[in-house]
Amino acid sequence: MIRWSALILAFLPAALFHGRATPAATAPDWRARNFHRKTIYSSPQSPGYTAWVGAWLMPDDSLMVTFKQATGPVDGRNRNDYDFTGLDLANIYLRSNDGGATWLKTAEDHFRGPSPGFAWGGSHCALADGAILRAVDGSQLPLNNLPRRIFFQRSSDLGKTWGAPIIPPDPTRPVDNFLGDFGDCITRVRRLSDRRLLATGVVRIDPKHRDLGEPFLLFSADEGKTWESHRFKLTAPEMRGNFAWDEWDCAELSGGSFLAVFRRADPADPKKQVRWQGILLKRGDRWTIDRYRPAPFPHSGHPDLLATREGPILHTATTGIHFTTDAGESWQVLQFGANAAPYKSLYYPRTVQASNGRIYVFSHRGADNPYGKTDQSIVMDAFDLANP
């Protein structure tokens, strides 16, 4: 029998596959050109709550983004309160077929809860048949009839409707035991160069101590229908303890390894948040973290890595964009023109690259704000990567 999914995958644009980083030019003068910033969405009310952006490429190379929106009365609410109960909460889905020049709303997916943390925006990706896959943390949705743990859902109509939960095996238990809550959300789902899907996150290993966690990997070879879970062998003392694991991201390298950047507490000062980096390697049935050490840039929300088509791996943050051409052994600041001000993304950036090489950074204006305190909006930055 012909496997049509395999044929479809073969013809998908390479930009979907966040492919393994290839050797880049040795000169450290990669630069950004043709930079452009624009607001692509504002709430129907002001001050508006629109935050936590995700972005991905569809099989036809169109752009899609999603984010959380909260609307409802502002007067009479405590503007320092993070309780969103009673507000109209929705996941908004937008699509652009012209490189971000114009955007069409494809869906407004409503849900209920005390917070807008339904599914992290970065936990979405396109499937070979044009559907969308997302990861959801059901523990954040106590008012909805959904599993109280991590699961995946599929949409075949650009976010309007979503299928039944697909529950992956818990990495802390045997593969046939699906009980328990992963704790933190899966924050990244990526397409690998071998066409598999990779989901990354942190599992909370002790329900009595929510600050204790371990990173994990989930792989799918059948477009998200089933998943294989992998844990890490934590070998160094600084890999264990309170707040040692928080949000993280990785970029594929050659040979099946990954460069990763981790948000964590400083081992020397637990009150200080920092960024560390390492190389993820598989040894036997466990993954290990090699060259685990501090990264040379400050903490800034969720790490965001992009393995570009040209070779460099980008680390994008509110403190700037750095790039590496040697798997993290050295990092340089990406320059945005001789007379340009240093680039800084807005909050919680999500970076993708189209098949024509154009790089897009989506983020939200504002921060981790209570409802009604800050007028947020969704912003797109775009630029080309060049090595003059």
With 80 as the cut, is the pLDDT of residue 258 above it? yes
**Who wins on pLDDT, 260 or 175?**
260
Query: Looking at the predicted structure, is the pLDDT value of residue 4 above 60?
Result: no
> C-alpha 51: how far from its chain's center?
13
What is the pLDDT, as a whole number, of residue 49? 95
pLDDT band at 7 (very low <50, low <70, confident <90, very high): very low
How far, in Å, are 107, 109, 186, 295 from residue 158 at the CA level?
A: 7, 10, 20, 37
- Residue 3's pLDDT is 38
Distances (CA, A) of 28 to 34, 94, 327, 358: 19, 36, 14, 20
Q: Is the pLDDT of residue 134 over 90?
A: yes
Q: Which of 110, 135, 114, 116 is nearest to 124 (CA)?
A: 135
Residue 336 has pLDDT above 70, yes or no: yes
Tell me what the mean pLDDT of segment 113-138 comes to. Answer: 83
Among residues 192, 248, 181, 202, the alpha carbon closest in space to that of 224 is found at: 192
What 3-state class would DSSP assign to 350?
strand
pLDDT band per the 50, 70, 90 thresholds, residue 20? very low
What is the structure's pLDDT at 171? 66
DSSP state of 238: G
Any bridge partners for residue 183, and if so which?
203
Write down the pLDDT at residue 147.
66
Main-chain phi, psi angles of 7, to 5 degrees: -65, -40
Confidence of residue 260 (pLDDT cuts 50, 70, 90): very high
Question: Which of 63-77, 106-120, 296-310 is the least confident region?
Answer: 106-120
CA–CA dist 111, 145 (Å, integer): 10
Mean per-residue pLDDT, 6-22: 43
CA atoms of 163 and 166, how far apart (whole Å): 9
Residues 175-181 have a mean pLDDT of 40
Taking residues 100-106, what's their average pLDDT?
A: 98
Lowest mean pLDDT among 87-96, 133-142, 323-332: 133-142
pLDDT at 78: 80
Domain spans in the chain, listed from the N-terminal domain onward: 4-386
pLDDT at 157 exceeding the cut of 50: yes
pLDDT of 102: 98
* Average of per-residue pLDDT across 192-217: 85
Contacts made by residues 320-327, CB under 8 angstroms, sequence distance 24+:
320/344, 321/32, 321/345, 322/296, 322/297, 323/30, 324/259, 325/23, 325/24, 325/25, 325/26, 325/28, 325/30, 327/21, 327/253, 327/259, 327/279
**What pLDDT does 18 receive?**
43
- Of the chain, the percentage scoring pLDDT greater than 90 comes to 63
pLDDT at 180 over 80: no
CB atoms within 10 A of CB 342: 11
The answer to pTM > 0.75 is yes
Whole-number pLDDT of residue 14: 45
β-pair partners for 209: none
CATH 2.120.10.10 for domain 4-386, yes or no, is yes
Segment among 3-12, 24-33, 86-95, 344-353 with least mean pLDDT: 3-12
